[in-house]
Structures are given as structure tokens and as C-alpha cells.
Copies of this chain bind each other. A is one copy, B any other.
Amino acid sequence: SEEARKYFRTVYDFPQWQTHRNQYRLMRRLFTIPQSHIIQNALPSILWVGVVSTSLAAYNTALDQHMLPDGFPSLTPNAACSAFITNTSVALSLLLVFRTNTSYGRWDEARKMWGGLLNRSRDIMRQGATCFPDDQVEAKKALARWVVAFARALRIHFQPEVTLESELKNILTPAELDMLAKSQHRPVRAIHAISQIIQSVPMSSIHQMQMSTNLTFFHDVLGGCERLLRAPIPVSYTRHTARFLFTWLTLLPFALYGTCGYAVVPVCTGIAAVLCGIEEIGVQCEEPFGILPLDVICNRIQADVMATLKDDADTKTILAEAGLSGLLPVSSPSYATANGNGNGNGNGNGNGNGNGVVMPQVSSTPASVPATMTVNISPR
């Protein structure tokens, strides 16, 4: 059922891996078969095979013991069914292999994109903390807010079980939250906002470009996940496999009754459990967002982005103690000059024709703004 999908959102750490590798795992797994969500989900199909094989066995027993009126045909041993089963089992395995690999590939792609989102969220925050001028405190905070907001908006986009309100009301300002809520496409709007923040900061356009490259990556993640959601494996594949598998399983008891007798029931049910289980895993992984721990990833992004924001000044001080003069807390005028070196292209050039206008504006801005807003981000 749909609810069971949440149990697939596994997150491992070292202890879980040790259990995973435990020498007695094979035996333990044998005794927890009834708890398998996969088997539970595939139960209707397995039961169907059980019913068919039981009916077949009962019918044949009745026939053999003359409990049925004459004229009822004998259904087994059915050489035709055997011929069908034998000649198609390779093709069936072929289709199941295809399905298995492709679905896993989709799951893996989704996981990698969300992993990439984490990497690049940390990276863009690092770039912001490092490249934004020291006095652009508000811009750094806004960047942090919106990077988190993008990740959470993306989660809501693919796991609609949570709302924008609950996820983001502690992160964004009310006006920003309202803007995001009313957007035609929220993640696109969030990337746009980050882009505007970066563009608004006086810094080298080289650094702006590099941060913007991460936004392009965000767009690729967003669009890649949407593609996985919108475009399933060509449904004709899935349906042909399903039809084939189910026909095969339904004919199986007829092929085996001759040699197995009543044992056809456990044997066919067992085979059905194995094959329907594989098909079920393929179906579960095909839409991977329901079985990925997106909330854990979002929390990780938020924690790391906030930590980078918080530790920035600290890092500078400690490195400066180790002898890096460029990071020394300098007095305002000499700092502006140092920054003119670092950001070369932008400010340095501007100096030629009106530096007196530009720089004062920049350095005066943060002095007036910081008090107007408090970043309300609580790291989970």
C-alpha cells in the first residue's frame, strides 16, 4: 500500500552497516519473511496463484476420485503449458532484468541528484561566505535562507505530504514566504531569488558567474527530478511485462501439477512470491521520491548552511592568527583597499571614475540595514 512506502526511506550509519553485514543475516532474514513489505504488497498476486493452483489440485483430485460427473476434462499433465513455460522463461527473465535495472537506475539517479543538491548547497554557501564582502551580512543571511528554502520547496514539490507553511515559516520572512506561496512554480522562483541576491552584491562578476554555475546545477536537479516524476519507463514495457508475468504464473500450476501433485500449491506460491517480489521492487523504485529520505537531506542542508554562515567570522580569525594577513581584521579604509585587490575586475576598475561614490555607498549600506531583520532559522 501507499503508506508502506515510508518504511523504505532508509538512512544508514556505521551500526546499521554492521547489522547489514552480520554473518547470520541470511538465517535471520528467513524468519522475518512475513514482515517483508514487498511480500505484503505483492500479496494479491501471490494469493491469486495460490487460489489457481489449489483449485486445480482440488479439481483434479475430484476428477480422479470420480466425485465429478462424467464429461469433465482432465486438465493435467498439460504438455502445452509446459512447452509455453519452458520456451518463455528466458524471455521473462530478460524482461524482469530490464525492469529491475532500469528502476534501480531511476532510484539511483534521484538519489544522486538529491545528494548533488546537498553538495552544491554547501558549496554555494561556502562561496557566498567567502566571496561576499564582509559588510554584506544581510546578503549572506538571505543567501542562507533561500538556499534552504529552495531545498525545502523542492521537497514539497516531490513529497506533497508536507506544506510550504510548516516547512518554511521559520526560515523565510513573511513577505518572502507569501511570495513563494503565490508563485506559479515555487522551486523556479526560489532559484530566481538566489540569483537576484547574488547579482545584488557588489563583487567580481567572476565570482558571481561561479555561484551562478551552481544555480544552473540547481535547475538541472529540479528538471531532472521532474523528468523522473513525469516520465515513467515507457508504460508499454511495464504493461507487457506485467501481462506476461501474470499469464506465466497462471499457467505454471498446469505445467507442474503432473510432477508435483498437491505440492503444486506451495511450489507455485513460492515461485510467485519470488517473481512478483522482484516486479514489486521494480515498481516501488520506479517513482523514487516516495522512498527517499528527503526530509533528512533537507535537515542536513539546513544544518550545514547555517553552520557555514555562523562559523565564517570565526574561521577568518583563526586562519589570520596562523599568519594570513589577508584575513586580518583590518580597519575599514585599508580593508576596502584589500577588497579592491581581491575583487579586481569590479571595484578596481570602477575606482577610475567615481570610486568615491561607489565605495561609500557599499560600506554605508550594511551599517544601516542589519538591524531591520533577524534571521529566524532554527537548525533542526
Flag if A142 contacts B226 (CB, 8 Å): no
Residues of chain B with a CB closer than 8 A to A215's CB: 123, 126
- B260 pairs with A79, CB closer than 8 A: yes
Q: Which of B240, B337, B373 is in CB contact (< 8 Å) with A277?
A: B240
Q: Once the chains bind, are A83 and B256 in contact (CB under 8 Å)?
A: yes
**B112, A236: Cβ atoms under 8 Å?**
no
Cβ B358 vs Cβ A341 within 8 A: yes
CA distance A51 to B323 in the complex (A): 69
Query: Which residues of chain B come closer than 8 Å to A32, judged between CB atoms?
Result: 239
A138 to chain B, nearest CB (A): 4
Interface string of A75-109 (1 = CB under 8 A from B): 00011111111011111011111101110100100
The answer on a CB contact under 8 Å between A126 and B237 is no
Q: Are A281 and B240 in contact (CB under 8 A)?
A: yes
| Chain B residues whose CB sits within 8 angstroms of the CB of A115 once the complex forms | 223-224, 226-227, 231
Residue A67, interface by CB 8 Å: no
- In the complex, what distance in Å separates the CA atom of A91 from the CA atom of B92? 9
Stretch at the interface among A58-66, A162-170, A177-185: A177-185
- Write the chain B residue with the least CB distance to A348: B349
From B81, B96, B267, give the contact of A80 (CB < 8 A). B267
Any B CB within 8 A of the CB of A196: yes
Shortest beta-carbon contacts, A-B, top 5: A344-B346, A348-B349, A200-B326, A80-B263, A119-B223
- Chain B residue numbers with a CB within 8 Å of A6 are none
Q: Give 1 or 0 for each of A185-228: 1 = CB within 8 Å of chain B CB.
A: 10011011101111111111111111011111001101110110
- Tell yes or no: A321 within 8 A of B by CB: yes
Instruction: Determine if A348 and B341 form an interchain contact, defined as CB atoms under 8 angstroms apart.
Output: no
Shortest distance between the CB of A28 and any CB in chain B (Å): 9
Task: Determine the distance from Cα of A112 to Cα of B184 in the docked complex, in whole angstroms.
Answer: 24
Contact B175 A321 (CB under 8 A): yes
The CA-CA distance from A20 to B191 in the complex, in Å, is 32
Contact present for B324 and A80 (CB under 8 Å) = no
Quick check: B284 and A236 within 8 Å, CB to CB? yes
Task: Flag whether A307 is at the interface (Cβ < 8 A).
Answer: yes
Q: Does A318 contact B (CB under 8 A)?
A: yes
Question: B120, B126, B142, B270: which contacts A319 (Cβ < 8 A)?
Answer: B142
A127 at the interface (CB under 8 A from B): yes
Instruction: Give the residues in chain B near A278, CB-CB below 8 Å.
Output: 91, 94-95, 240
**Is A378 an interface residue when CB atoms closer than 8 A count as contact?**
no
Asked whether A298 is an interface residue with its Cβ less than 8 Å from the other chain, the reply is no
A155 at the interface (CB under 8 A from B): no
CB proximity of A300 to chain B, nearest CB, Å: 9
Q: Known contacts A240-B278, A322-B176, A350-B348: does B303 contact A231 (CB below 8 Å)?
A: no
Q: Is the CB of B348 within 8 A of A179?
A: no
Q: Which residues of B contact A203 (CB under 8 A)?
A: 342
Residue A45 at the chain B interface, CB threshold 8 Å: yes
B88–A90 CB distance below 8 A: no
Selected A-B contacts with CB under 8 Å, 10 pairs: A11-B231, A13-B230, A36-B240, A36-B243, A80-B260, A210-B212, A234-B281, A326-B365, A340-B350, A351-B354
Binary interface encoding of chain A residues 119-160 relative to chain B, with 1 for a CB under 8 A from any of its CBs, else 0? 110110011011100000011011000000000000000001
CB-contact partner of A243 in B30, B259, B342, under 8 A: B30
**Bound: A321/B177 CA distance, A:** 13
In the complex the two chains form, is B112's CB within 8 Å of A227's CB?
Answer: yes
Instruction: Tell me which of B231, B234, B322, B349 contacts A173 (CB under 8 A).
Output: B322
Q: Which residues of B contact A347 (CB under 8 A)?
A: 341, 344, 348
Measured between C-beta atoms, what is the minimum distance from A278 to chain B in Å?
A: 7
